[in-house]
Amino acid sequence: MDLQFFTLTFILFFIVSTLYSSVGHAGASGYIAIMALLSFSPESIKPFALILNSVVAFIASVKFIKAGYFDKKIFYAFIFTSIPFAFIGGYITINPIYFKVFAGIFLIISAILLVFKTYIKPLNSEIKPIPFYLCLLIGVIIGLLSGLIGVGGGIFLSPILIMTNWTTVKKASGIAALFILFNSLAGLFGHLTVIHEINKSIFLWISAVILGGILGSHLGTKKFNNKVIISFLFLVLLSAGFKFVFV
Q: Would you say 57 and 181 are in contact if contact means Cβ atoms under 8 Å apart?
A: yes
Q: Which of 187, 193, 198 is nearest to 90 (CA)?
A: 187
pLDDT at 153 over 80: yes
Question: What confidence tier does 134 reach under pLDDT thresholds 50, 70, 90?
Answer: very high
Burial of 163 (C-beta count, 10 Å sphere; 0-12/13-18/19+): middle
- Return the top range by mean pLDDT from 105-114, 129-138, 152-161: 129-138
| Residue spans per domain, the chain | 3-246
Q: What count of other Cβ atoms lies within 10 Å of the Cβ of residue 125? A: 8
Q: Would you say 239 and 109 are in contact if contact means Cβ atoms under 8 Å apart?
A: no
Q: Which of 70, 51, 90 is nearest to 177 (CA)?
A: 70
Summarised one tens digit per residue, pLDDT across range 213-240 is: 999 888 878 766 666 666 767 777 787 7
194 or 88: which leads in pLDDT: 88
76 or 121: which leads in pLDDT: 76
φ, ψ (nearest 5 deg) of residue 82: -70, -35
Instruction: Tell me the three state secondary structure of residue 211.
Output: helix
Question: Which residues are within 8 A (CB) of 74 and not within 5 positions of it... i.e. 6 or more apart?
Answer: 130, 135, 161, 166, 167, 171, 175
Please name the amino acid found at residue 79: I
Residues 103, 98: Cα–Cα separation, whole Å: 8
| Residue length of the chain | 247
pLDDT at 131 over 70: yes
Q: Which of 193, 185, 199, 196 is nearest to 91 (CA)?
A: 193
Summarised one tens digit per residue, pLDDT across range 31-88 is: 988 998 888 888 888 889 889 999 999 999 999 999 898 999 999 999 999 999 989 9
pLDDT at 169 over 60: yes
What is the structure's pLDDT at 124?
Answer: 55
Question: What confidence tier does 123 reach under pLDDT thresholds 50, 70, 90?
Answer: very low
What is the structure's pLDDT at 120?
Answer: 64
Q: What count of other Cβ atoms lies within 10 Å of the Cβ of residue 245? A: 15
Q: What count of other Cβ atoms lies within 10 Å of the Cβ of residue 202? A: 14
Across the range 132-150, mean pLDDT stands at: 89
Residues 85, 227: Cα–Cα separation, whole Å: 32
